[in-house]
């Protein structure tokens, strides 16, 4: 007997594992439901497919949802299929073996939208524990796009074994969002809602706002519901009455035209409703006649403004939460208040970063002008073109050095050298002949700026040229959904700090700086001490022009590089210098900070009109100069005397 049972047991044991790994067998057990699925009953088949834990189950779900599954009419077997003309390429679901067949004799499975959503939910549950990190990230992103109650349990189950720390944190955040809306118990939902009190993300705010969704209603008395607040109907009586009409709690107000039409249609023997026509010349007569017609049912009932006011006064108007549980809405309201407070603080921090970034750009653009203007008293209208020359230098360097990091390293000193030389040439040929003649200097430098713009157009054309930033400057530093700033702007801020330190070192710790400060304070006395003011003026002008060239490279990384780009910064540069105080590094820094933060603040108050924001800023600066004509930081010496 044992000799007979043992082979049978072994045979059964060998068959069971094979069947357990056969997805086709599972599909055949639910053949009718898979061939013609229903949104209300397909979950049975999906539970068996998911419970199999087969490697090819996710692929089947994907192909099924994409209408890539075919069924053989004769045998009822399912295949992956791809139709081309009258031919059909079939792939065995278990073995992946391919074959060719005519489309006749096979039916394509076409689940509807509701079934595809159910399949998508089941597929997400598979992907949450997939070995491939990319698939798990895709599953989490899919849940975030279309959160539903079915996702909560598998998401919670996948958190503990998640090896990726960032993805695990994202799963926890998403689980809290789902628990706030779909938690099984009130305690679970309140705990999840409380955890969102410190989450300033758009998703968290959306969940809390959804829980606090209200509908406006009206009734004779307040119902036994989760009332958000009661409303005063007299704040908007017409709208309140329209709400009563929409809810079939009152009749529409009778318009004067309706009264006139009703009276005209019911004239009989010189009377309307028994009222002679001669008496219809007044509102009282028309009302009386219309009321008589309404009493007989000839016209709709008359509803006057007095009736409207009485109806509004006899009803209560209120907002009701869609969420019936008062504990949950109270927790959500408290959490949302906390979140909105944190969002306000974050928005202030983000606005501060934007202002700091813009101030850094203005500082870089203006610091060279501040030095030349302060030391030499020269109004250099061509300063913006030195910025443009620096940007084009960076573009040319990138043509020869395709490595953007290396090209940037080369472009910065190259831009300084080229614009320094151009500044020296300009000072020697033009500026030195026009000292103490500010109007002629202004006209001459303005003409030079036009000439330099035209020269750039002749060489590089009128189209914008790309100055590409290195890959490590792509993207932005994102602290939250509210606070973020691009890496390029951070780099410009760091560059501004470096130049601030460099300029302070040159002016305070070098012989050139000592001579520049001496000429600034008293040129005659400096000359008597053996300092050559003309040489200092030349070097100072070249140094200021070189700094403008470096600023051009930095600005060109995020702004368009064109022949007119310098004109976009020359006005702000002069405003920065004048507001801060001419010839002073700290004054330029103060002026750039004031203008940068002021412009961003005005843009925040009026975000739809940037031009208006700049106009308001200029008006403010004009008023500021009236009260402090020498700027924030007053310079001592020759510039102050001027």
How far from 569 is each of 93, 359, 387, 462, CA to CA, in Å? 66, 12, 9, 19
Rounded Cα gap, residues 89 and 82, in angstroms: 5
pLDDT at 636: 54
Give the pLDDT band (50/70/90) at residue 531.
confident
Q: What backbone phi and psi angles, to 5 degrees, belong to 478? A: -110, 110
The DSSP secondary-structure symbol of 210 reads H
Question: Which candidate, 434, 439, 456, 442, places its Cα nearest to that of 383?
Answer: 442
Rounded Cα gap, residues 586 and 429, in angstroms: 31
Rounded Cα gap, residues 364 and 495, in angstroms: 8
Residue 600 pLDDT greater than 80, yes or no: yes
Give the pLDDT band (50/70/90) at residue 608.
low
**β-sheet with 214-219: strand ranges across:** 214-219, 316-321, 227-231
Which residues lie below 8 Å from residue 634, measured CB to CB, with a gap of 6+? 581, 640
How much is the average pLDDT of 504-514?
83
Which residues lie below 8 Å from residue 9, measured CB to CB, with a gap of 6+? none
Torsion, Cα 444 446 452 456, to 10 degrees, reads -170
Phi-psi region of 510 (alpha: psi -120 to 50; beta: other; left: phi over 0): beta
Q: What backbone phi and psi angles, to 5 degrees, belong to 91? A: -125, 125
Residue 449 pLDDT greater than 70, yes or no: yes
Number of H helices, E strands in the chain: 27, 12
SS3 458: helix
pLDDT at 6: 38
* CB 359, CB 524: distance < 8 Å: no
How far from 456 is each of 141, 463, 468, 571, CA to CA, in Å? 49, 11, 19, 20
Which residues lie below 8 Å from residue 184, measured CB to CB, with a gap of 6+? none
Residue 611 pLDDT greater than 80, yes or no: no
What token pair was written down for 607? 């975000």
Torsion, Cα 270 276 279 282, to 10 degrees, reads -70
SS3 214: strand
Rounded Cα gap, residues 537 and 540, in angstroms: 5
pLDDT at 582: 65
Task: Give the residue with greater pLDDT, 15 vs 391.
Answer: 391
pLDDT at 10: 36
Lowest mean pLDDT: which of 268-277, 307-316, 344-353, 600-609? Answer: 600-609
Residue 513 pLDDT greater than 90, yes or no: no
Percent of the chain with pLDDT over 90: 14
Spacing of C-alpha 540 from chain mean position: 44
How much is the average pLDDT of 63-78?
87
Residue 420 pLDDT greater than 90, yes or no: yes
How much is the average pLDDT of 495-506?
84
Query: What is the residue-averaged pLDDT of the chain?
Result: 83
Report field, pTM of the whole predicted structure over 0.75: no
Rounded Cα gap, residues 567 and 449, in angstroms: 9
pLDDT at 59: 84
Percent of the chain with pLDDT over 70: 93
Q: What is the pLDDT of residues 206-230, one digit of tens each?
A: 999 999 999 999 988 888 889 989 9
Residue 417 pLDDT greater than 90, yes or no: yes
Give the pLDDT band (50/70/90) at residue 21.
low
How much is the average pLDDT of 394-418?
91
What token pair was written down for 496? 């501004």
**Using H for helix, E for strand and C for coil, what is the string for 132-198?**
CHHHHHHHHHHHHHCCCHHHHHHHHHHHCCCCCHHHHHHHHHHHHHHHHHHCCCHHHHHHHHHHHHH
Question: Which candidate, 594, 179, 604, places its Cα nearest to that of 358?
Answer: 594
pLDDT at 617: 75
Rounded Cα gap, residues 71 and 77, in angstroms: 6
* CB 87, CB 100: distance < 8 Å: yes
pLDDT at 1: 41
How much is the average pLDDT of 25-33?
86
How much is the average pLDDT of 129-154?
83
pLDDT at 122: 78
Give the pLDDT band (50/70/90) at residue 620.
confident
Question: Which candidate, 146, 150, 125, places its Cα nearest to that of 135?
Answer: 125
How much is the average pLDDT of 111-137?
81
Residue 596 pLDDT greater than 70, yes or no: yes
pLDDT at 389: 93
């Amino acid at each position: 007997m044992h000799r007979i049972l043992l082979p049978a047991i072994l045979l059964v044991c060998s068959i069971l594992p094979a069947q357990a790994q056969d997805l086709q067998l599972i599909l055949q057990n639910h053949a009718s439901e898979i061939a013609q699925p229903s949104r209300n009953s397909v979950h049975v088949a999906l539970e068996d497919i998911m419970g199999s834990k087969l490697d090819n189950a996710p692929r089947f779900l994907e192909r099924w949802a994409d209408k890539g599954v075919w069924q053989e009419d004769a045998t009822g077997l399912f295949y992956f299929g791809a139709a081309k003309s009258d031919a059909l390429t079939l792939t065995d679901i278990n073995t992946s073996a391919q074959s060719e067949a005519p489309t006749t004799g096979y039916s394509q499975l076409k689940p509807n939208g509701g079934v595809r959503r159910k399949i998508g939910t089941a597929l997400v549950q598979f992907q949450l524990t997939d070995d491939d990190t990319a698939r798990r990230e895709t599953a989490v992103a899919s849940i975030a796009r279309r959160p539903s109650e079915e996702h909560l349990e598998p998401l919670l189950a996948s958190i503990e074994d998640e090896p990726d720390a960032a993805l695990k944190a994202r799963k926890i955040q998403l689980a809290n969002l789902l628990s706030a809306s779909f938690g099984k118990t009130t305690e679970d939902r309140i705990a999840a809602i409380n955890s969102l009190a410190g989450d300033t993300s758009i998703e968290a705010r959306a969940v809390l706002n959804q829980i606090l969704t209200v509908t406006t209603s009206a009734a004779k008395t307040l119902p036994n519901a989760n009332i958000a607040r009661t409303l005063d109907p007299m704040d908007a009586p017409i709208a309140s009455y329209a709400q009563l009409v929409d809810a079939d709690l009152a009749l529409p107000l009778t318009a004067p035209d309706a009264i006139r039409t009703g009276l005209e249609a019911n004239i009989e023997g010189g009377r309307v409703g028994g009222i002679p026509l001669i008496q219809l010349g007044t509102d009282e007569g028309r009302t009386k006649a219309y009321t008589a017609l309404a009493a007989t049912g000839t016209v709709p009932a008359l509803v006057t403004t007095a009736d409207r006011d009485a109806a509004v006064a006899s009803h209560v108007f209120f907002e009701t939460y869609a969420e019936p549980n008062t504990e949950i809405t109270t927790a959500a309201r408290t959490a949302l208040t906390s979140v909105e407070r944190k969002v306000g603080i974050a928005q202030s921090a983000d606005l501060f970063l934007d202002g700091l970034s813009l101030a850094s750009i203005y500082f870089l653009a203006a610091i060279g002008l501040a030095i030349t203007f302060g030391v030499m008293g020269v109004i250099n209208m061509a300063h913006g073109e030195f910025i443009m020359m620096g940007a084009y230098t960076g573009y040319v360097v990138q043509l020869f050095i395709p490595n953007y990091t290396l090209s940037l390293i080369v472009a910065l000193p190259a831009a300084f050298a080229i614009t320094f030389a151009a500044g020296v040439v300009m000072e020697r040929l033009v500026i030195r002949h026009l000292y103490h003649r500010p109007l002629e200097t202004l006209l001459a430098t303005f003409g030079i700026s036009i000439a330099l713009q035209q020269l750039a157009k002749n060489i590089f054309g009128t189209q914008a040229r790309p100055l590409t930033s290195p890959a490590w400057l792509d993207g932005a530093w994102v602290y939250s959904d509210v606070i973020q700033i691009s890496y390029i702007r951070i780099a410009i801020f760091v560059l501004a700090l470096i130049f601030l330190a460099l300029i302070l070192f040159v002016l305070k710790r070098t012989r050139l700086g000592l001579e520049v400060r001496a000429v600034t304070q008293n040129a005659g006395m400096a000359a008597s001490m053996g300092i050559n003011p003309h040489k200092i003026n030349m070097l100072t002008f070249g140094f200021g022009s070189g700094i403008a060239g470096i600023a051009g490279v930095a600005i060109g990384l995020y702004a368009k590089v064109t022949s007119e780009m310098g004109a976009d910064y020359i006005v702000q540069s002069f405003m920065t210098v004048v507001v801060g105080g001419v010839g002073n590094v700290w004054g330029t820094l103060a002026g750039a900070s004031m203008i940068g933060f002021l412009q961003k603040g005005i843009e925040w108050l009026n975000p739809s009109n940037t031009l208006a924001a700049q106009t308001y800023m200029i008006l403010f600066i004009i008023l500021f100069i009236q009260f402090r004509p020498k700027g924030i930081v007053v310079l001592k010496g020759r510039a102050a005397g001027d």
